[in-house]
Amino acid sequence: MTSLLLTGISSLVTNDPAHGGLLGELHDAALVIDGGKIAWVGQRRNAPATDAATDLGGRAVIPGFVDSHSHLVFAGDRAEEFAARMTGTPYSAGGIRTTVAATRAASDEHLTANVSRLVAEMRRQGTTTVEIKSGYGLTVTDEARALQIASQFTDETTYLGAHVVPAEYADDPAGYVDLVTGPMLDAAAKHSKWIDVFVERGAFDADQGRAILQAGIARGLQPRVHANQLGEGPGVQLAVELGAASADHCTHLADADIDALASSGVVAGLLPAIEFSTRSPYPNARRLLDAGVTVALATDCNPGSGYSSSMPFCIALAVREMHMTPAEALWSATAGGATSLRRPDLGHLTPGAPADLAILDAPSYLHLAYRPAVPLITRTLVAGRDT
C-alpha cells in the first residue's frame, strides 16, 4: 500500500496529550497514512514527502467515533411505541418482547442485511468502531445466531441473553437464569468478547446479575452492565464490584454511585439519544466529570428506547443538555468509547494507531454541536480505507 498525505487540515484532533489540551488539537496540520496506520502527524510545513497527497482545503479531521453500546441485531421497529411516548406514555422495557418476537421470526439473511444497513448508516456519520449486543433472541439458538451475525461486523460483540426474561419463562425466572448461565452461554461464548446484563426493576436484580456476569467471566468474557437507566438501583455498584469495563446509562445516580465509579475506573457510558427518545431527564455529565469519572458517549441504537445511529447527535445532546464542553463530548465519543471497550489502540490519531478517522465539511470539531443535524461528515476512513 502506498503512503498518503492528508494536508490542508485546519484542525486535527489527535487525542494525544503530547500536543496539549484534552484533544491534542493541531492547527494547519497534516497527517500521513501508511499501511492502514497513522505514520506521522504534525504541522503542515513539516510534512514528509509521500507517494500521494490530498489537500483537504481547510477541513477538520477527528478520530473516528467509537460507539461502545448498540443493539443492532433485530427485526421490525417500534415507531408506534415512540409516537405514543411523545404523547405521554412512559417507556417500559416490556416493549423488548415485541422485538424479540419479530427477531425470532426473521431469517438470518434479513437480520444480517439489517445490521449491514445500520453499520453503513453509522459509517456515514463517522463511526469507525461499534460494539454490538445480542439480546433480542433469548433462546439458545437465537442468541448464538445474533452473535454470529454481529461478529461479521465487529470484534466488539456482547452476549446479552440477560436482556429481559422472555414470556415463556415469565413464571420461572430462576430457570431462565440457569439457561443464560448454562446452555445459552455455551452457545454464545465463542462469538462474544463481552457479557452484559440489564440490571433494573422488571429485568434482573443484583443477585441474578452477579450470577450471570460471574458465569460469563468464568468463560473468559469481560463484563459490562446496563445500570441505573430507569431509576436508582444496584447496577453501578454491581459493575464496580465485578470490575466491569463500563456501567452504561447512569441516568439515575446516587452520590455513592458516583464515588464508587470515581474510585474504580469503571467507565460511565452516557446514552443521551435514549433520554431524547423516552422523554426522560438527561444525566448530568458534569457531576461525573468533576468527580474524575471517565465518561463514554454512545448511541445505544435499538428499535425501542432510541433508534438513532448518530454519534454527532449524541455529541450535540451532551453539549446542550448534559453540561459537557464540546471538547469533552468529542473525547468521550472517541477516546472515551475506546476506554470503555478496553481498546487502547483506538480513539486517537497517533503514529502506529489504525487510520480510523472522520473528515468534517467544517473547519473545526466545534461544528458538530454548533450545527446539529447537519451531515458534516464527508469521509470516514477505517484502517486508511474509505467506507
Q: Which is nearer to Fe ion, 275 or 300 (CB)?
A: 300
176 binds, among Fe ion, ligand NIG, none (CB under 5 to 8 A by kind): none
For the chain, what is the largest distance between any 2 Cα atoms, rounded to a whole number of angstroms? 69
| Minimum CB distance to ligand NIG, residue 106 (Å) | 15
User: Among 203, 157, 200, which residue's Cα sits nearest to residue 180?
Assistant: 203
Q: Which is nearer to ligand NIG, 71 or 343 (CB)?
A: 71
CA dist., res. 359 & res. 368, Å (int): 12
Question: Among residue numbers 256 through 315, which ones bind ligand NIG (CB under 6 A)?
Answer: 274, 300, 302-305
| Minimum CB distance to ligand NIG, residue 164 (Å) | 8
User: Among 282, 268, 290, which residue's Cα sits nearest to residue 321?
Assistant: 282
Q: Which is nearer to Fe ion, 257 or 300 (CB)?
A: 300
- What values do phi and psi take at 245, rounded to 5? -70, -35
Q: Is 163 annotated as a binding residue?
A: yes
85 binds, among Fe ion, ligand NIG, none (CB under 5 to 8 A by kind): none
Q: Which is nearer to ligand NIG, 119 or 203 (CB)?
A: 203
Is residue 34 involved in binding Fe ion (CB under 5 A)? no
204 binds, among ligand NIG, Fe ion, none (CB under 5 to 8 A by kind): none
Amino acid found at 264: S
Q: Which of 25, 81, 200, 300 binds Fe ion (CB under 5 A)?
A: 300
Q: Which of 96, 115, 147, 296 binds ligand NIG (CB under 6 A)?
A: 96
Q: Which of 193, 210, 224, 226 binds ligand NIG (CB under 6 A)?
A: 226
Q: Which of 95, 126, 312, 347 binds ligand NIG (CB under 6 A)?
A: 95
- What values do phi and psi take at 151, rounded to 5? -70, -10
CA atoms within 13 A on the CB side of 61: 31
DSSP code of residue 167: G
Q: Which three cell numbers stand for residue 160?
A: 446479552
Q: Which is nearer to ligand NIG, 227 or 258 (CB)?
A: 227
| Minimum CB distance to Fe ion, residue 289 (Å) | 22
Is residue 37 involved in binding ligand NIG (CB under 6 A)? no
What lies within 8 Å, CB to CB, of 92 at 6+ separation is: 202
What lies within 8 Å, CB to CB, of 79 at 6+ separation is: none
Environment class of 329 (CB within 10 Å of its CB; exposed 0-12, middle 13-18, buried 19+): buried
What is the 3-state composition of the chain as percent helix, strand, coil, each rounded to the nearest 5?
40, 25, 40
Residues tagged in the binding site annotation for N-formimidoyl-L-glutamate = 136, 302, 304
What is the contact surface with ligand NIG in residues (CB under 6 A)?
A: 71, 93, 95-96, 99, 198, 226, 229, 274, 300, 302-305
Residues tagged in the binding site annotation for Fe(3+) = 69, 71, 226, 300
